Structure 1
Amino acid sequence: MDLHRAHEIMVSPDKITVLYKDHPVWIEHVDNNSQTAQIRTLDTRKIIGVYVEDLIDTGEVIGSIKQ
């Protein structure tokens, strides 16, 4: 995934499926300088830092977040 798309997903009102090492994750923060993202794994709820390029955008919208 590229930085622009990671930002789009992070601020989108839609829930878009993103994978890291075949596990669904939520993007918490994107750092442009280091090209990393802070993500939360949805299966273990653990927060980790990863390179944005290692994230997979499936394009699948699984719902919407109401604001």
Structure 2
Amino acid sequence: MDLHEAHEIITSSNKIKVLYKGLPIWIEEIDNNSETAQIRSLTTREVMGVYVKDLVNTKEVVGKINQ
């Protein structure tokens, strides 16, 4: 995934399924300078920093974000 795509996902009103190493994650924030994202595993709740390029957008909408 690239930075533009990651920003589109976190600003979308849809919940988009994103994977890191095959596991579902939530993108919490993006650092444009280092091209990294802080993510949270949806299976273990672990928070980690990873390169945005290592994230996979499945393009699958799994719901709406409650606003």
TM-score range relative to shorter protein = over 0.9
| Length, aligned pairs only | 67
What residue in structure 1 maps to residue 12 of structure 2?
12
Task: Tell me the residue number matched to 2:34.
Answer: 34
Using the TM superposition, give the Cα deviation of residue 2 of structure 1 relative to its aligned residue in structure 2, in angstroms: 0.2
TM-score of the superposed pair, with normalisation by structure 1: 0.97
* 2:48 alignment counterpart: 48
Identity %: 64
Greater mean deviation of Cα atoms: 49-58 or 4-13: 4-13
Cα RMSD over matched residues? 0.5
Structure 1: gaps of 5 or more residues: none
Offset of residue 66 of structure 1: 2.3
Tell me by how many angstroms 1:65 deviates. 1.0
**Unaligned stretches of 5+ residues in structure 2:** none
* TM norm structure 2: 0.97
